[in-house]
Chains A and B, each alone.
Chain A
Amino acid sequence: QKEVEQNSGPLSVPEGAIASLNCTYSDRGSQSFFWYRQYSGKSPELIMFIYSNGDKEDGRFTAQLNKASQYVSLLIRDSQPSDSATYLCAVTAGGNNRLAFGKGNQVVVIP
């Protein structure tokens, strides 16, 4: 089993709609959870991080964490064309802030 799984295929959403991304992880001991946005050919940039169960909101982004079910999700409200990118879920694993990444979900916002 992979450490971090993102199984959804490319996601197309109309401009202004909500994009929903999900991620599951295998290590119950993981403490920190991150969502990164990566534009093609660029390095990842941090969108959200969350440590505690529940929701965390930052602008148009909401991260949701459920440690019992070992999943973390990201909601993008009022999606904009500039949100079109690949979103990577990452989880700290093995101490030392070592990050394990999911394969990513491509989001395409259609104007």
Chain B
Amino acid sequence: GAVVSQHPSRVICKSGTSVKIECRSLDFQATTMFWYRQFPKQSLMLMATSNEGSKATYEQGVEKDKFLINHASLTLSTLTVTSAHPEDSSFYICSADSGTGGNTIYFGEGSWLTVV
């Protein structure tokens, strides 16, 4: 099946610094990728839709200047958490849409971010 890879799987950063998370579709091209955040014991919350070659579409309440999304190619989207704070500590998950029919959405393994 299709594979979506996220890197890093775990990252610890200091408060005030920025951290970048990569999402790659390994065996298909994805014009659309999605970024989710999940706090402990809560559901996945969609943060933004990443569109190749254009600006991301952010969900209501998500700061676009804090969570920078770049989808520069059909196989790579990046999420940069800028000026990270402890409350940004969460599990960040991406998914990619292969658009091949049936179930077309594939999830990455997720990235644990801890801001200290």
CB-CB under 8 A from B112, the residues of chain A are 41
Contact of B103 among A46, A100, A102 (CB under 8 A): A46
Do B105 and A97 touch across chains, with their CB atoms under 8 A apart? Answer: yes
A43 touches B32 (CB 8 A): no
Contact between A97 and B44, CB atoms less than 8 A apart: no
Instruction: Tell me whether B34 and A44 are in contact (CB under 8 A).
Output: no
Point out the residues of chain A lying under 8 angstroms from B91, CB to CB: 41
**B43 in contact (CB, < 8 A):** yes
- Which residues of chain A are within 8 angstroms of B109 by Cβ–Cβ distance? 42-43
Report the interface size for chain B: residues with CB under 8 A from the other chain: 23
Asked if residues A98 and B107 are in contact (CB atoms below 8 Å), the reply is no
A100 touches B102 (CB 8 A): no
| In contact, B44 and A88 (Cβ under 8 angstroms) | yes
Give the number of residue pairs across the A-B interface with Cβ within 8 Å: 47
Interface residues on A, range: 10 to 19
Q: How far is the CA of A104 from the CA of B41 in the complex (A)?
A: 9
Known: A98-B46, A99-B46, A100-B46. A43 touches B107 (CB 8 A): yes
Q: Are B43 and A99 in contact (CB under 8 A)?
A: no
CA distance A104 to B36 in the complex (A): 15
CB of B97 within 8 A of chain A?
yes
User: Closest B-chain residue to A34, C-beta based?
Assistant: B103
- Partner of A49 from the list B97, B99, B102 (CB cut-off 8 Å) is B102
Q: Once the chains are docked, how many angstroms separate the CA of A106 from the CA of B111?
A: 22
Chain A's closest residue to B111 (CB) is: A43
Do A97 and B107 have beta carbons less than 8 Å apart?
Answer: no
Q: Which residues of B contact A (CB under 8 A)?
A: 32, 34, 36, 42-46, 49, 91, 93, 95, 97, 99, 102-105, 107-110, 112
Chain A residues in the interface with B (C-beta under 8 A): 34, 41-46, 49, 88, 96-104
Q: Enumerate the 9 nearest inter-chain pairs by beta-carbon distance, A residue then B residue, closest first.
A: A43-B110, A103-B43, A101-B44, A101-B43, A49-B103, A97-B97, A43-B107, A43-B109, A104-B43
